[in-house]
Amino acid sequence: NIQHKYHIDTINSYLIKPVQRITKYEMLLQRLMACCEESKGEIKEGFDLMCSVPKKANDAMHLGYLEELEPGLTKEALGDVLLQNTFQIWDSKQLIKKGKERHVFLFETSVVIAKIPKLLARGAIRYIYKYKLMTAEISDVKEHLEAGEPCKFALFTGRTSTHDLRVTLK
């Protein structure tokens, strides 16, 4: 095999993939903004749009890993992911107050909490649906719960005086 003998890569390894082009477009638009004063507003709009594409693709990919939704709930019904990330979560309903690593999806009408299974094949990603908080039921959000913990916040459901549920995220 000539490729193997001369250490030549396949043609596919030299071609830029569509996903890789997106970052190239961002760089091109950034350079255009630096040198085109008269069209800067339109170029900025294009740049902002191009920057949102990888985020939306990443969010959709993570949503695709979500499994075992409650009966009658579909990913399509949840809508578009506004934000998603992994947090340490303390749930007020748990007897043992130990933080657990969970993946959180924020949608316009709900917050979905998912478990991250430990025993997965190397590189495999999967989230197991645990529960959903409707944003309309969130009665309070407290930021900076503890001194020295600027990234810690809590979501409360129920009446302000009694709070049915407190979910603390870090």
Residue 127, pLDDT score: 94
Query: Domain check: are 49 and 87 in the same one?
Result: no
Task: Tell me which of 61, 87, 102 is where a domain ends.
Answer: 61
Mean pLDDT over residues 59-82, rounded?
92
Determine the structural domain holding residue 21 and report its residue range. 2-61
Final residue in a domain of this structure, among 23, 39, 61: 61
More confident residue, 133 or 23: 133
Q: What is the CATH number of the domain that holds 124?
A: 2.30.29.30
Distances (CA, A) of 80 to 12, 15, 83, 107, 149: 33, 32, 9, 6, 30
pLDDT for 51? 84
Domain co-membership, 13 together with 47: yes
Indicate the number of domains in the chain: 2
**Do 26 and 74 share a structural domain?**
no
Give the pLDDT of residue 168.
63
Shared domain for 163 and 100, answered yes or no, is yes
pLDDT tens for 108-163 read: 999 999 999 887 667 788 999 999 988 888 887 777 666 666 667 777 777 665 55
Helix axes of 18-35 and 40-64: crossing angle, nearest 10 degrees: 160
User: Do residues 156 and 163 touch, judged by C-beta distance below 8 A?
Assistant: yes
Does residue 72 share a domain with residue 54?
no
The answer on 154 and 75 residing in a single domain is yes
Pick the last residue of a domain from 61, 83, 99.
61
The yes-or-no verdict on residue 103 having pLDDT over 80 is: yes
- Looking at the fold, whether 9 and 87 belong to one and the same domain comes out as no
Together in a domain, 89 and 150: yes
Which of the four pLDDT bands, split at 50, 70 and 90, describes residue 82? very high
